[in-house]
Amino acid sequence: MTELVDVTDEDFAAEVLGVADRAVLVQFTAEWCGPCRQLGPVLRELAREEGERLKVVQLDVDRNPGTTVAYGVLGTPTLMVFRGGEPVRSMVGARPKRRLVQELADVLNP
C-alpha cells in the first residue's frame, strides 16, 4: 500500500525527478489552503489505488520556496505530473476524484 508522501526542496530531485518507473503527481499545497485540504483525501485514495503506476507526493509551498519558484507555481493547489524527471501536465484547483482520474488517464496508461 502506497501513501501520500511529503517532499521538500532538499529531497525533491530524489523523490520526484529521480523516479523512472512511474509518473509522479506533485500537489503544491499550503496549510492555510482550504481546497488543498479538500484534495488531501482524494490524493491519499489515489496513492493507495494507483501506487503501482503513480507516486503521489505533496510539497508545502511556504516551507519550500525553491521548488515552488522553479516550477512557476503561483496558486494552490497546483497539481503537476512528472514523468522521467520532466513536468508533463499541470492543473490548478481542487477537483473530485472522478475528474482527476479522467485527467490523468493518459499519464496512467501511456
1 pLDDT above the threshold of 60: no
pLDDT at position 100, please? 95
Q: So where are the chain's domains?
A: 5-108
d(C-alpha 91, C-alpha 48), whole Å: 21
Strands 23-29 and 78-83: antiparallel
Catalytic residue among 16, 24, 33, 73: 33
Strands 78-83 and 86-92: antiparallel
Catalytic residue among 4, 24, 25, 36: 36
Tens digits of per-residue pLDDT, 76-86?
999 999 999 99
pLDDT at position 3, please? 76
Whether residue 33 lies in the annotated active site: yes
The chain-wide mean pLDDT, for the chain, equals 94
pLDDT at position 16, please? 97
Q: Grid coordinates standing for 76?
A: 494552490
2 pLDDT above the threshold of 70: no
Task: Supply the CATH classification number for the domain 5-108.
Answer: 3.40.30.10
Whether residue 43 lies in the annotated active site: no
Tens digits of per-residue pLDDT, 38-57?
999 999 999 999 999 999 99
